[in-house]
């Protein structure tokens, strides 16, 4: 059975479960006086207003906004996940920013989104290009779920409602726990973390770290919950999951404190000139990976939903070229492909099978 040990702190955001300990390392400069949250980086480029962005969606001609052929998948099963060797730390990309980890003999999900749309509505909003490689009903017992922030493409109400009964623990940024409570998750299963706070669960240590983003699921709740990235450390591996973020000096601070990393899972997609401070271009994504001291980079936040004006494959194509030029090992698995973090197979540009592009070698 999974047990937890957290290091106690007077700045703990909530009452802790019996036996838990919580570690806090930083003052709360990102806390607003009205109870909300803010980014701490200075001189941010202002993002365009919703009206200007909506006008572009209505008037701009889109090119390859979605794939014309089926995105390749490697189907997963409960038995296949259970059969992964305990000696191996494994990562499986489920699509967009959803990740399944088998690490330190534990099974974790990160930002699990299984719904057909990343939207508050079932009939409108960004629709999946592909189905998840495993059905919700096929998921094994889950030791933990990490949530980076409350946007619909990262926190999926329907998914949480359907599988929370088989999850032992949820780790979320401050305030996100209130969503889970409304959806039926019991309080004893949920631990909310501020930036730089850590939780240790068996041989696994997880630290919430800063990002440069925002939150909100409606018109009146902007920045009322926190957003975060995560450092995930086992006895064999050290991983970084970016969540959503613009580029900022926080990546270098995280790298100095926790790096180097065996694998960084970095947002690489849904960028645009109208929101430059909250999402990264591929050039910035690569720089974030380098700032972190990453060995291998897995680009995430792409290939599943249409969330920006660029083509569905542009972010993958650009990061592949950039990584090759920088001699940076790039990991671009097919959705559902099981990767050994320390012995990843050679990546292939799977998106090229769906579009007519010039030949490009990936960095290995």
pLDDT at 18 over 50: no
Cα–Cα distance list, 106 to 64, 82, 85, 242, 277 (Å): 39, 10, 11, 21, 35
Q: What is the pLDDT of residue 45?
A: 56
Q: What is the pLDDT of residue 57?
A: 83
pLDDT single digits (tens) 207-221: 999 999 999 999 899
Average pLDDT, the chain: 90
Peptide linkage before 100 cis (omega within 30 of 0): no
**CB-based contact 298:337 (threshold 8 Å):** no
pLDDT at 11 over 60: no
pLDDT band at 44; cut points 50, 70, 90: low
Q: What is the pTM of this model?
A: 0.91
Number of H helices, E strands in the chain: 7, 14
**CB-based contact 229:247 (threshold 8 Å):** no
pLDDT band at 279; cut points 50, 70, 90: very high
Q: What is the pLDDT of residue 28?
A: 81
Total residue count of the chain as it appears in this document: 364
pLDDT at 195 over 90: yes
Q: What is the pLDDT of residue 303?
A: 97
Name the residue with higher pLDDT: 49 or 115. Answer: 115
pLDDT at 324 over 60: yes
pLDDT band at 91; cut points 50, 70, 90: very high
Q: What is the pLDDT of residue 145?
A: 98
Query: Each residue of 61-91: b (16+ CB within 10 Å) or e?
Result: eeeeeebeeebebeebeeebbeebeeebbbb
Q: What is the pLDDT of residue 15?
A: 33
- DSSP lists the bridge partners of residue 201 as 4, 204
Q: What is the pLDDT of residue 214?
A: 95
Q: How far apart are CA 312 and CA 349, in angstroms?
A: 14
Q: What is the pLDDT of residue 346?
A: 80
pLDDT at 263 over 80: yes
- Give the HSE-up count for residue 9: Cα atoms under 13 Å, Cβ half-sphere: 19
Which residues neighbour 189 within 8 Å (Cβ) at sequence distance 6 or greater? 164, 167, 168, 169, 170
Q: What is the pLDDT of residue 330?
A: 97
Q: What is the pLDDT of residue 54?
A: 84
Q: What is the pLDDT of residue 8?
A: 32
Residue 321 host element (H or E): helix 314-325
Q: In this prediction, what percent of the chain has a pLDDT beyond 70?
A: 89
pLDDT band at 356; cut points 50, 70, 90: confident
pLDDT band at 361; cut points 50, 70, 90: low
């Amino acid at each position: 059975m999974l047990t937890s040990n957290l290091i106690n702190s007077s700045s703990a955001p909530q009452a802790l479960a019996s036996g838990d300990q919580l570690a806090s390392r930083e003052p709360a400069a990102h806390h607003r006086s009205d109870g909300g949250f803010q980014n701490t980086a200075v001189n941010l480029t202002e993002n365009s207003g919703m009206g200007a962005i909506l006008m572009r969606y209505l008037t701009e001609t889109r090119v390859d906004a979605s794939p014309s052929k089926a995105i390749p998948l490697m189907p997963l099963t409960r038995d296949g996940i259970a059969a992964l060797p305990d000696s191996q730390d494994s990562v499986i990309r489920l699509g967009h920013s959803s990740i399944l980890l088998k690490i330190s003999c534990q099974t974790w999900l990160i930002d699990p989104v299984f719904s057909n749309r990343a939207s508050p509505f079932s009939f409108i909003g960004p629709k999946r290009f592909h189905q998840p490689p495993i059905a919700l009903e096929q998921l094994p017992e889950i030791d933990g779920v990490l949530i980076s922030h409350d946007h619909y493409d990262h926190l999926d109400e329907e998914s949480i409602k359907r599988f929370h009964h088989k999850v032992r623990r949820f780790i979320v940024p401050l305030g996100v726990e209130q969503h889970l409570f409304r959806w039926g998750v019991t309080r004893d299963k949920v631990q909310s973390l501020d930036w730089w706070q850590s939780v240790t669960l068996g041989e696994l240590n997880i630290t919430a770290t800063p990002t440069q983003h925002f939150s909100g699921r409606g018109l009146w709740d902007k920045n009322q919950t926190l957003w975060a990235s995560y450092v995930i450390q086992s006895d064999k591996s050290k991983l970084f999951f970016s969540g959503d973020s613009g580029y900022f000096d926080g990546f270098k601070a995280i790298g100095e404190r926790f790096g180097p990393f065996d694998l960084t899972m970095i947002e690489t997609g849904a960028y645009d000139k109208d929101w430059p401070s909250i999402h990264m271009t591929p050039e910035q994504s690569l720089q974030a990976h380098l700032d972190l001291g990453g060995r291998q980079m897995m680009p995430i936040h792409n290939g599943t939903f249409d969330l920006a004006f660029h083509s569905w494959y542009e972010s993958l194509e650009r990061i592949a070229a950039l990584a090759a030029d920088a001699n940076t090992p790039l990991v671009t698995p097919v959705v559902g492909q099981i990767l050994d973090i320390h012995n990843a197979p050679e990546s292939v540009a799977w998106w090229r099978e769906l579009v007519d592009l010039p030949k490009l070698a990936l960095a290995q």
